[in-house]
Amino acid sequence: MKTIKELILNISAPISPPKGGKLPSFGGAGGGEQKIVGIAFNTREVKKDYLFVAQRGTKFDGHNFVNQAIDKGAVCVVVEQLPDRINPNVCYLQVPSSDYALGVLASNFYDNPSEKLNLVGITGTNGKTTTATLLYRLFSNLGFKCGLLSTVENKIGVTTIQSTHTTPDAVQINQLLLQMVDEGCEYCFMEVSSHAIVQQRIAGLYFTGGIFTNITHDHLDYHKTFKEYIAAKKLFFDNLPKTAFALTNMDDTNGKVMLQNTKAQRKTYSLQTINCDFKARINENTLDGINMSIDNQNAWFQLVGKFNAYNLLSVYAAAMLLGMEKEDVLQKMSSLESAEGRFSVLRRNGVTVIVDYAHTPDALLNVLNTIREIRHQGQKISTVVGCGGDRDKSKRPEMAKIAYNLSDKVVFTSDNPRNEDPNAILNDMLKGIENEDDVNIFINQDRKQAIKLAITSAQKTDIVLIAGKGHEKYQEIKGVKYEFDDVEVAWKYLRF
């Protein structure tokens, strides 16, 4: 429980308000002494003596629900625009950005838990989940109690909490961080999505460090242009405090861009660039793992592929920047396994199935190139792939083209069609194929049947890639989520 004054005064968050921003001004009744027992931005969550934040969303404007929130018990409302009629029994706070205000208010309400942890954020198109998960597992194995906020799962110590978004909303983030503090966690590793950055879900958080993995074609349904997408990622690093580290991938075209305006300590890692802080070289890359030389020391890792070499190097670099011992880190890293649904390898009856979350052109390209590099002579590749509905349509033909060009056989199918017609999505994908009549192209919108076709028609030693859904345990069709697990389905047909 906090007073309104306690929630808004002495704001020391490292992420600055929008340009021209200022502290909220009081209006209405109650002054700043009113006790607040909870914060909500959805009227369904509002209870007696709550503070309600009116946000402008893509579909709804919270300002239209202010009176409903008051009727449910809100005694304070945060708005960007004051209503025409002021309720004399309610305190109104007018702010330049409700999104930013929510983050800072939530942090203050929960006693700024991010300042009591070593919070490291990971952003980029690909590799966020793997990097965050590997850091969580590494530091847990080093003897620290840790937290994890990721696409696959949230963890408080060894307790797992279901994850619904890559980055939770500001209230949930601070609730989870407070639980981590109460449980004695010293570190938290957190995926930071571009949506979360733009929507100010991380406002008010204090980061010990930030990691940039890479940036490629994705989320243009939301950001509209690639330039806007880059700017969203960069904003995270722009707002890191000078006490934090900003670790970037120098082999990515936009790696340097992320560091241009940051106040944080600039650090770099690379597999190709000589002049960087942390360097590595791949000595051997097989389906069983990677042998790498990191900072002139050889080590064997269970993860597979060049893209995972980058993930491993960023994990090593972050551990060094967090003060860990090199030998201990490399020893523990050698036993780490990847996150669920990230290049998960299943083998039976001579057939190898790889389940991967690759749902962007670059991710699919990386996975297929990795398979081609490490396969034995004569091994053929079959790829099962689809594209999500209600998302960026421009990547559909590109993904189909990549799958067709790098596979011996391809089965185009549904991913999460959501509210779109699966056949319309498949037609968009086929625009990337010059010869649709190729006998090695198969189309089946039923994902289970598509996986069955690929696996049961595979010859011994063949490799089947099932791309797009990875860890997901559902398929979303017409607004309904049906149980569906690529790994479970693959095992079923591997028994044939």
What pLDDT does residue 17 have?
Answer: 34
19 burial level (CB within 10 Å; 0-12, 13-18, 19+): exposed
Start-to-end CA distance of the chain, whole Å, equals 60
d(CA 282, CA 449) in angstroms, rounded, equals 38
Burial of 479 (0-12, 13-18, 19+ CB in 10 A): exposed
- What's residue 218's pLDDT? 52
In Å, the largest CA–CA distance within the chain is 78
Average pLDDT score, the chain: 91
What integer is the mean pLDDT of 142-168?
90
Res. 127 pLDDT band, cuts 50 70 90: very high
For the stretch 363-413, pLDDT in tens is 899 999 999 999 988 899 999 999 999 988 999 999 999 999 999 999 999
Give residue-wise pLDDT tens across range 256-268: 999 999 999 999 9
Average pLDDT over residues 118-143: 96
Chain Cα centroid distance, residue 224: 19
d(CA 127, CA 130): 5
Coil, strand or helix: which one is 366?
A: helix
List the beta strands (DSSP E) in 287-390: 289-294, 297-301, 344-348, 351-356, 381-385
Encoded amino acid at 385, one letter: V
pLDDT band at 10 (very low <50, low <70, confident <90, very high): very low
- What is the tens place of the pLDDT at every residue in 178-187? 999 999 999 9
How does pLDDT run across 480-496, given as a tens digit for each residue?
Answer: 999 999 999 999 999 86
Task: Give the three-class secondary structure for 276.
Answer: coil
Question: The domain at 344-494 falls in which architecture?
Answer: Alpha-Beta Complex (3.90)
- Average pLDDT on 248-255 reads 95
CATH 3.40.1190.10 fits 113-333, yes or no: yes
pLDDT tier, 23 (very low <50, low <70, confident <90, very high otherwise): very low
DSSP state of 194: H
Q: Give the separation between CA 81 and CA 95, rounded to whole angstroms.
A: 8
- Determine the Cα–Cα distance for residues 255 and 313; give it in Å rounded to an integer: 15
Residue 274, pLDDT score: 84
Q: Where are the domains of the chain?
A: 2-109, 113-333, 344-494
Tokens of 131: 């990097």
Beta-carbon contacts of residue 57 (< 8 Å; ≥ 6 apart): none
Among 3.40.1390.10, 3.40.50.1110, 4.10.490.10, 3.40.50.300, what is the CATH number of 2-109?
3.40.1390.10
Residue whose structure tokens are 């991938």: 249
474-477 vs 480-483, strand pairing mode:
antiparallel
**For the chain, what percent of residues have pLDDT higher than 70?**
93
Q: How confident is the model at residue 435 (pLDDT cuts 50, 70, 90)?
A: confident
SS3 56: strand
Q: For 261, phi and psi rounded to 5 degrees?
A: -115, 10
The pTM score is 0.85
